[in-house]
Amino acid sequence: MKRLVTSLIALSLLSGCANKPPFKDEFESDKPWVEQLTQLPLYPEDKNLLAFDAGSVTNNQYLVDTTSIQIGEDGVIRFSLLIRSVSGARNVSFEGIRCDTSERKLYALGRDDKTWVQPRHSEWQKLDFVRQFYAQRELAKHIFCPNRQIVRTTEEAIESLKAGMHRSIIR
């Protein structure tokens, strides 16, 4: 009888351990990532645009609307990006960069009437896989996400943008 009681106690202890999640699942970093909802900013105004150097691959001018910068609790920095070609054509977008995975997402496109329109495709894309993401790669690697760590404040993001304006002088 004593053996039976001892066996039942041992069995109940083991079954209690089986219900407990493994140690690694107790960490915050193992929780699934959830993207937060975002609001579109006001359409960019020229007075709020700050240029940065996206590298020598292109002659386009790249600018971020400093008033649109949003640092999310989900680890995504969102901003309005304006690309101006040498001929004067303008492309405006509202985008996000997920620093820890080096991905980019397009949330909205700017129209000539200064309104936003939803893009046909709005999915996270790896920055390394799309050749045309010069500006987004520069923003991710050197300005908004150095060492894959998101800047802490909007002010820090703006200071990094200002430093990025002068990077071409140092190269």
CATH number reported for the structural domain that contains residue 119 in this entry: 2.40.128
Task: Note the pLDDT of residue 27.
Answer: 56
The alpha carbon torsion through 171, 159, 145, 37 (nearest 10 deg) reads -140
For residues 52 and 63, the answer to whether their CB atoms sit within 8 Å is: yes
* Predicted pLDDT at 126: 93
Residue 117 lies in a domain: yes
Q: Which residues of the chain have pLDDT under 50?
A: 5, 8-14, 17, 24-25, 166-171
Count the domains in the chain.
1
Domain extent for 126: 46-170
Contacts 24+ apart (CB under 8 A), 82-89: 82/44, 82/49, 82/110, 83/135, 84/60, 85/59, 85/60, 86/59, 86/60
What is residue 169's predicted lDDT score, i.e. its pLDDT? Answer: 35
- Please state, in angstroms and rounded to a whole number, the distance separating the CA atoms of residues 11 and 124: 47
Residue 25 belongs to a domain: no
Any domain includes 87: yes
Q: Does residue 41 lie within any of the structural domains?
A: no
For residue 138, which phi and psi values (nearest 5 degrees)?
-65, -45
pLDDT at site 171: 33
The verdict on residue 3 lying in a domain is no
Is 40 part of any domain?
A: no
pLDDT on residue 11 = 46
In a domain, 28, yes or no: no
Domain annotation covers residue 24:
no
